[in-house]
Amino acid sequence: MSNNPDFKSEIVRHMHGINEKINALLGGTQAMRRAGPRFLPKEEAESDEKYNRRLKMSVLYPAYEQTVAQMVGRTFAKPLIIEKVADSLKEYLANFDLKNNNIDVFCSKWFYDAMAHGVSYVVVDYPPADDNYTVADVKRLGLRPYVTHVPFNSVLGWRSETIQNIEVCTQFRYRTAVLEPDGAFGERITEQITVMTPGKVTVYRNGENGWTLHSEKELRIGGKPLDYVPVVAFTPERIGFFAGKPVLENLAELNIRHWQARSDQDYLLHFISVPLMYYSGDREVSELTSGVGTMLQLGTDEQIGYIEHSGRAAEAGWTGLDRIESDMKVAGAKLLTRTKLAMTDSQAKEEQSKEISLLRHYANLFESAIDSALDMMSKWLSSNEQSHVEISGNLETDDTVEGMNVVITLNTNDIVSRQTVFEEAKRRGVISNQADWEEEKKRLEAEQDAVNAPQMDFSDDNQPADSK
C-alpha cells in the first residue's frame, strides 16, 4: 500500500523500462554517451581511460528519431479536415491549448509522443468558473474548454473500473514542473503531481516536508460534478487499458546495434589509419627521430619501414554497418506498406478498406482519439454535439502518386471510368474517405451546367425591328 502520490504503478514502470532506450535515442549523441555501458558495453580488457575515449568518439546515427519525425510529417502533410467539428468548438481550434498552438500543431506533438513511446495523453480542462455565471459572463471572461498534453514520461499511473461493460478511467496521476519566482530576480523549479478523479483535481507539491497538499478543485458542469475523468489516451499499439508499446521498437534495437557497431568501427579506424613503423637489425632502438632535414644510417643487415593494415577488417565493418542501415530502412518503411489488417466490418466499410498501411491504421485510431477530446470539450459547454476530424496526409509509400498517374492515363484512354479513378483516389488516400461518388457526380454536373449556361446574343439578327 502506498499513500505517496509519487508512486509509479506496475504497468507504468514496465513501459518506462521499455522506453529507456527510446529516451536515449531521442536525446541524441549526448544522451547515448551519458548512458555509457547501458548501451555501449565495455570490453573485458578495456581500461576506463580507453573506454571513455571510445565513448567520446562515438556519434549516434539518428535513424529512430528521424523515422518517427518522418511518419508524423507524412501524417500531418495536410491540415486536419475539420468540416464536421461542432460549430461551437471551431472558434477554439486556432488556439487549441491556450498556448497559441492550433489543432494541427497540438495534435502533431501528441501523435509524435505516442508514435515514439507507445502512448500519450491529453487532459481536457476548463478554467475555474462560478456556477452562477451567465453565458454573457463566460464570454466576457473568455472562459472556454481547452486541452493539455501530458507526455508519456510524465505519467505516474491510473486506475480504472468497468462501468456498463466499458472500462473507464477513475484516477489519473501525472507529474509536472512549476517555475516560480525566487526573490527579486531568481526562480526555482517545484515538482508538482496532479491527481484527477471524477469531479475533482488534487495537486501535491514537493517541498522541504516532502509531498504536501497544495490545492483542490472541483470539476462541475451545469452545477453538477463531472462524473468522469476528462483524459484521453492514444495508444497506436495497445497492450492494456491506457497502455501501449512503441510501434518502432525493432527499429530502436537496430539503432542501438548501429551505435555499438559504429563505435567499434570508428575506434578501429583511429588506429589502423596510422601505419606502424618497424625496425629490423641487431641494434637496440628505443627512440627514432625522422622528418625533413634528418637522415637515417642503416647497416648492411638493417631494415626500417612501415607496416600498413590491409583494410579488410575496416571493409567488413563498413559492410556490416551498411547492412544494419538497410535493415533500419526496412523496419521504418513497414509502416507505409499496404497490408490486410484484422479489422471488423464497422472499422472497414468495404472489404478493400481493410488493406491499408499501418500508418493509415494508426491515423484512423488517432482520429478517434481527437474526436473523443473534442466531444469532452463539447460537454464542458453543456452540449452533446459530436465532432469528427479527418487525417488525409501522405500515409502510404510514395508510389501512390505514380499509381494514380497510371489510373488517370487509363481513364484518358477510355479503359476505366471516371468513377474508377475516383474510387482509386479514395482508396489511396488522395481524397477524403468521406467523399461520395454520387455527390461528387452531382457537383460535376452542376459545374458543367454553369459553364454551358445560355449566353446573351447581341447579333444583328436578334435585334428588335425598331433598332435596325
Check whether residue 328 and residue 357 sit in a common domain. Answer: yes
Average pLDDT, whole number, for the chain?
85
CA 353-356-360 angle, to 5 degrees, is: 110
Check whether residue 134 and residue 17 sit in a common domain. Answer: yes
> Does any domain span residue 193?
no
Listed residue (74, 104, 51) closest to 360, CA to CA: 74
Check whether residue 328 and residue 362 sit in a common domain. Answer: yes
Residue 136: burial class (beta carbons within 10 Å; 0-12, 13-18, 19+)? exposed
Check whether residue 28 and residue 88 sit in a common domain. Answer: yes
Distance from C-alpha of 185 to C-alpha of 182, rounded to nearest angstrom: 7
Check whether residue 96 and residue 113 sit in a common domain. Answer: yes
> Does any domain span residue 197?
no
**pLDDT average, residue stretch 383-395:** 90
> Does any domain span residue 203?
no
How much of the chain exceeds pLDDT 90, in percent? 51
Question: With contact defined as beta carbons under 8 Å apart, do 217 and 195 qualify?
Answer: no
Domain count across the chain: 2
Check whether residue 23 and residue 52 sit in a common domain. Answer: yes
Give the global pTM: 0.79
Segment 253-289, tens digit of pLDDT? 999 999 998 887 766 665 655 566 666 776 776 666 6
Residue 370 reports pLDDT greater than 70: yes
Distance from C-alpha of 84 to C-alpha of 294, rounded to nearest angstrom: 85
> Does any domain span residue 69?
yes
Check whether residue 338 and residue 411 sit in a common domain. Answer: no
> Does any domain span residue 54?
yes
- Go through 62-100 and write b for each residue having 16 or more CB atoms within 10 A of its CB, e for each that does not: bbbbebbeebbebbbeeebbbeebbebbeebbeebbeee
Res 395: pLDDT: 80
Choose between 123 and 184: higher pLDDT: 123
Instruction: With cut-offs at 50, 70 and 90, classify the pLDDT of residue 209.
Output: confident
Task: Tell me the range of 138-142, 183-187, 238-242, 317-321 where mean pLDDT is highest.
Answer: 238-242
Distance from C-alpha of 83 to C-alpha of 387, rounded to nearest angstrom: 9
Check whether residue 261 and residue 409 sit in a common domain. Answer: no
Check whether residue 322 and residue 442 sit in a common domain. Answer: no
SS (H, E, C) the chain: CCCCCCCCCHHHHHHHHHCHHHHHHHCHHHHHHHHHHHCCCCCCCCCHHHHHHHHHHCCCCCHHHHHHHHHHHHHCCCCCEEEECCHHHHCCHHHCCCCCCCHHHHHHHHHHHHHHHCCEEEEEECCCCCCCCCHHHHHHHCCCCEEEEECHHHEEEEEEEEECCEEEEEEEEEEEEEEEEECCCEEEEEEEEEEEECCEEEEEEEECCEEEEEEEEECEECCEECCCCCEEEECCCEEECCEECCCCHHHHHHHHHHHHHHHHHHHHHHHHCCCEEEEECCCCCCCCCCCCCCCCCCCCCCEEEEECCCCHHHHHHHHHHHHHHHHHHHHHHHHHCEEECCCCCCCCCCHHHHEEEHHHHHHHHHHHHHHHHHHHHHHHCCCCCCCEEECCCCCCCCHHHHHHHHHHHHHHCCCCCHHHHHHHHHHCCCCCCCCCHHHHHHHHHHHHHHHCCCCCCCCHHHCCHHHC
Residue 400 reports pLDDT greater than 50: yes
For the four alpha carbons of 433, 438, 441 and 443, in that order, the dihedral sign comes to negative
Distance from C-alpha of 258 to C-alpha of 256, rounded to nearest angstrom: 5
Res 84: pLDDT: 95
Neighbours of 112 (CB within 10 A): 20
Residue 349 reports pLDDT greater than 50: no
Amino acid letter at 394? N
> Does any domain span residue 269?
yes
Which residues, including other chains, have CB under 8 Å from residue 25's CB and lie 6 or more apart?
A: 31, 32, 60, 62, 64, 65, 252, 255, 256
Distance from C-alpha of 203 to C-alpha of 193, rounded to nearest angstrom: 6
- Domain span including residue 136: 11-151+233-283+304-394
Instruction: With cut-offs at 50, 70 and 90, classify the pLDDT of residue 447.
Output: confident
> Does any domain span residue 95?
yes
Determine if residue 4 is left, alpha or beta; phi over 0 gives left, psi from -120 to 50 gives alpha, anything else beta. Answer: beta
**pLDDT average, residue stretch 348-363:** 72
Check whether residue 311 and residue 434 sit in a common domain. Answer: no
Distances (CA, A) of 46 to 49, 54, 56, 276: 8, 10, 15, 21
Distances (CA, A) of 311 to 31, 272, 308, 377: 32, 8, 9, 64
Residue 352 reports pLDDT greater than 50: no
Check whether residue 370 and residue 308 sit in a common domain. Answer: yes
Residue 338 reports pLDDT greater than 90: no
> Does any domain span residue 126?
yes
Instruction: With cut-offs at 50, 70 and 90, classify the pLDDT of residue 451.
Output: confident
Task: Tell me the range of 135-144, 252-261, 446-455 where mean pLDDT is highest.
Answer: 252-261
Choose between 287 and 174: higher pLDDT: 174
Segment 37-85, tens digit of pLDDT? 999 999 888 899 999 998 998 999 999 999 999 999 999 999 999 999 9
Res 458: pLDDT: 56
Distance from C-alpha of 138 to C-alpha of 105, rounded to nearest angstrom: 26
Check whether residue 441 and residue 311 sit in a common domain. Answer: no
CA 147-152-154 angle, to 5 degrees, is: 85
